[in-house]
Amino acid sequence: MKVLRSIADARAFRAASAKASIGLVPTMGALHAGHASLIERAVRDDDLAVVSIFVNPIQFGPHEDFSAYPRDEPADIALCERLGAAMIFAPNVAEMYPEGDATRVQPGPIAARLEGAARPGHFSGVATVVTKLFEIVRPDVAYFGQKDFQQLRVIQTMTRDLRLGVRVVGCPIVREPDGLALSSRNAYLTPDDRRHALALSRGLFGARDDWARGERDPAKLCQRVRETASGPGVSLEYVAVSDPLTLDDLVRSAPRAVITLAAQVGKARLIDNVLLGMSIEDLP
């Protein structure tokens, strides 16, 4: 497995693999079993699996956790090698954003609400770095997790609109046995915080059970999540019942929905979601 730091070397790797299909897993490192599931999918479905490891500064706000974001490159490299990745692209900030770099990708309306409203500028940073990674690595397919559902939809929409020629595949959320969605930011949770955080998935699962029993009223589904997920140590930021394709709020019953939430639990800001009436594989 190669670990490449420069754009020139990454492009040379692609040129030398011109006849191979490449699956890219973009990450910010601090890899966990959720990332591993994406890497395993790329190894299985493509000729070569490439993992990018880059903590992208321009998707963090001025008071967010860029400096504190978990980093463990040696462990990340060992995991990628064990899973069968062919190459890691791990540039530094100056390589991706040299002096004078001022062009940014502004995603459309799908990025405006939910995380886009809570974290102004976040999705412009995400869209910009993903566009750069696509142009550097030139993958055939890129794999993203469902946990960051709005990010997945923003990237799918951007890739379609800009005709980038990459198939963007969503993969299911990986959870702990007790339901907690895996996240690099779970490292911030104390034991008490972690117990409190289980209310988030319990709320989503409760709404999923209601849906399975026939409930389609968005307001009632939202209320079910709020009632269950609100509890000690949890500060809910938002709960939304949306169309899975547009992320517009649902105001009446629909054959499909995604319920997303964000909450502060101790020092960690956590997001989670549940998809109803369709699977992640059904996204266009």
What residue type is 38 in one-letter code? L
Tell me what pLDDT residue 239 has: 98
Q: Is the pLDDT of residue 99 over 90?
A: yes
Q: Is the pLDDT of residue 245 over 90?
A: yes
Q: Is the pLDDT of residue 284 over 90?
A: no
Tell me what pLDDT residue 90 has: 98
For residues 236 and 245, what is the distance between their CA atoms, to the nearest angstrom? 24
- Band (178; pLDDT cuts 50, 70, 90): very high
Q: Would you kindly state where each structural domain of the chain is located, as residue ranges?
A: 2-171, 184-279
Tell me what pLDDT residue 166 has: 98
Average pLDDT (73-90) is 98
Q: Could you tell me which of 185, 206, 195 has the C-alpha nearest to residue 267?
A: 185
Class of domain 184-279: alpha beta
In CATH terms, the fold of domain 2-171 is Rossmann fold (3.40.50)
Helix, strand, coil share of the chain (percent; to 5): 40, 20, 35
Q: What three-state secondary structure class fits 195?
A: helix
Tell me what pLDDT residue 247 has: 97
Q: Each residue of 265-275: pLDDT tens digit?
A: 999 999 999 99
Q: Is the dihedral of CA 7, 12, 13, 17 positive or negative?
A: positive
Share of the chain above pLDDT 70, in %: 100
Give the catalytic positions in this structure: 35
- Are residues 185 and 217 in contact, defined by beta-carbon separation less than 8 angstroms? no
Which phi and psi (to 5°) does residue 30 adopt?
50, 50
Taking all residues of the chain, what is their mean pLDDT, rounded to a whole number?
Answer: 97
- Band (197; pLDDT cuts 50, 70, 90): very high
Residue 22 CA, chain-centre distance (Å), reads: 20
Tell me what pLDDT residue 231 has: 87
For residues 20 and 22, what is the distance between their CA atoms, to the nearest angstrom? 6
Q: Structure pTM? A: 0.96
CA angle 159-164-165, nearest 5°? 105
Which phi and psi (to 5°) does residue 26 adopt?
-75, 130
The residue with tokens 């001022």 is 102
